[in-house]
Each structure stands twice: as structure tokens, then as C-alpha cells.
């Protein structure tokens, strides 16, 4: 029974993480597009976001290899388990994929709000990784432990560029109500969604990894070269 609990818990946690890492780097493509258009001369900020994007992609690939080594696909979870998804929906009233990049190009206030959302999300991620690295189910898996240690090492450089941008432009730091939304989203996942998923029978697994289209496109380009 205890072994089943550990396997189930690990299955769900890793499924949620690989979803969020994929969502992270694909959403940052939109952030990069906005920054390159609104501030093409801010090469340092652009480079920091590019590094953030590369880290998120790296984390995704590490989880993907973990699943491949086990010979199992991740449990299917959607945007309801995505921290940044929920944050964007609550603050901007739309899904990430439907955000208009021009809004962030033309509106300083909206871009500042986006920076606060990203910074809060990344700080939340760091706190969660610290907790997970004390969990016996994580520590019992050397490869998974290594993955989370790498994430913990990378995480601080993910919120610093956005907080630095806010400071440089004399914009406010996250308000109490934005921090409250961050806590609400995390609590909603931890105490509502995760338990519901845990005790839901017959959860489906993904039929292919989320980056399937990206890999397929890269293979076609390589073959045509």
C-alpha cells in the first residue's frame, strides 16, 4: 500500500512538473517576442530571458528522459494544473495562448504586471522544490533528486531579471493581493486538485510528449539540410 502511494504521488508530481516546464518555455517565447519588439536595444534583459527559456526547456527534457527511462508516459494533466496558466487567467482574464503580444509591446503597465506574475511564479517554484527535496519519495529516486537539485540551482536566476526590470523602471513590487493570488493558486493545486487526481481511477496518460511537434519539425529540417 505504501509503495503504491509513493508511485502514485510521484506519477502525479512529475506529470504536473513536466507540464509546467513545457508551458514555461513555450510561454516565454511570447514574452521574448514582446521584449524584442518593445525594447530591441535591451540586449542584457533579452539575454536573461533567453537563458530563462533555455533552463525551462532543459528541465522539461530532463523530466522527459526520466519518463523515457521508466518506459511510461506522463499522466495527462492540463492548464488547470499550471501555475502560470492560472495566474495569467486570473490577472489578465484570458489564457496564455490567447494573450495579445501587442498588449505588452504598447502597455507599460501590462508588461510590468506580467513581470510580477513571472517573478512570483518562479519564487513559488523555488520554495516548492526546496520542500520536494526533503520528501522521501523524491530522495529514493537518484535521477529525480538530481533533476530537482538542478532546478533549485537554476531557479534564482529566473525571477531576478523581472524584479530588476521593475526596479529599474521604478515600478512597484507585487502587492499583497497579487501574493494572495499566488498562495491561492498553490493551495488550490495542493489541497484540491492533487487529491482529486490522486483518488481518480483510470487517469489517462499522454499518447505523445508535449514537444512532439517541435521534435518532428526539427527532424524534418535536419533531413532537408
Q: E strand or H helix at 88, and its extent?
A: helix 83-92
C-alpha cell at position 72: 511510461
Total structural domains in the chain? 1
Instruction: Tell me the CATH number at 37.
Output: 1.20.1260
Over the stretch 72-92, which tens digit does the pLDDT of each residue have? 999 999 999 999 999 999 999
Band (pLDDT 50/70/90 cuts) for residue 39 is very high
Identify the domain containing residue 92 by its residue range: 2-224
Band (pLDDT 50/70/90 cuts) for residue 214 is confident
**Cα-based torsion angle of the residue sequence 163, 165, 167, 168 in order, rounded to the nearest 10 degrees:** 160
Average pLDDT score over residue span 107-132: 96
CA 57 to chain CA centroid, Å, is: 10
pTM of the model: 0.93
The residues with which 75 forms a beta bridge, in sequence order, are: 205
Over the stretch 174-202, which tens digit does the pLDDT of each residue have? 999 999 999 999 999 999 999 999 999 88
- Average per-residue pLDDT for the chain: 93
Average pLDDT score over residue span 151-161: 97
Closest CA to 161 of 56, 48, 35: 48
Cα–Cα distance for residue pair 86/79, rounded to 1 Å: 7
Reply yes or no on whether the pLDDT at 93 is more than 90: yes
CB atoms within 10 A of CB 116: 23
Q: What does DSSP assign to residue 201?
A: T
Band (pLDDT 50/70/90 cuts) for residue 22 is very high
Cα–Cα distance for residue pair 138/120, rounded to 1 Å: 24
- pLDDT of res. 3: 77
Amino acid at each position: 500500500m505504501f509503495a503504491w502511494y509513493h508511485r502514485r504521488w510521484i506519477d502525479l508530481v512529475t506529470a504536473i512538473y513536466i507540464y509546467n516546464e513545457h508551458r514555461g518555455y513555450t510561454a516565454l517565447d511570447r514574452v521574448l517576442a514582446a521584449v524584442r519588439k518593445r525594447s530591441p536595444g535591451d540586449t542584457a534583459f533579452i539575454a536573461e530571458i533567453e537563458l530563462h527559456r533555455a533552463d525551462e526547456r532543459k528541465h522539461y527534457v530532463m523530466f522527459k528522459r526520466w519518463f523515457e527511462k521508466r518506459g511510461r508516459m506522463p499522466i495527462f494533466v492540463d492548464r488547470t494544473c499550471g501555475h502560470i496558466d492560472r495566474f495569467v487567467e486570473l490577472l489578465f482574464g484570458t489564457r496564455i495562448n490567447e494573450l495579445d503580444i501587442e498588449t505588452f509591446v504598447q502597455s507599460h503597465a501590462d508588461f510590468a504586471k506580467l513581470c510580477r506574475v513571472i517573478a512570483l511564479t518562479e519564487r513559488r517554484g523555488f520554495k516548492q522544490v526546496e520542500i520536494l527535496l526533503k520528501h522521501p519519495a523524491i530522495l529514493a529516486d537518484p535521477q529525480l533528486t538530481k533533476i530537482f537539485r538542478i532546478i533549485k540551482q537554476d531557479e534564482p536566476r529566473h525571477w531576478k531579471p523581472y524584479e530588476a526590470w521593475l526596479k529599474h523602471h521604478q515600478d512597484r513590487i507585487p502587492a499583497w493581493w497579487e501574493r494572495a493570488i499566488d498562495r491561492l493558486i498553490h493551495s488550490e493545486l495542493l489541497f484540491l486538485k492533487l487529491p482529486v487526481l490522486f483518488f481518480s481511477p483510470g487517469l489517462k496518460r499522454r499518447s505523445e510528449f508535449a514537444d512532439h511537434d517541435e521534435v518532428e519539425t526539427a527532424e524534418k529540417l535536419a533531413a532537408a539540410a
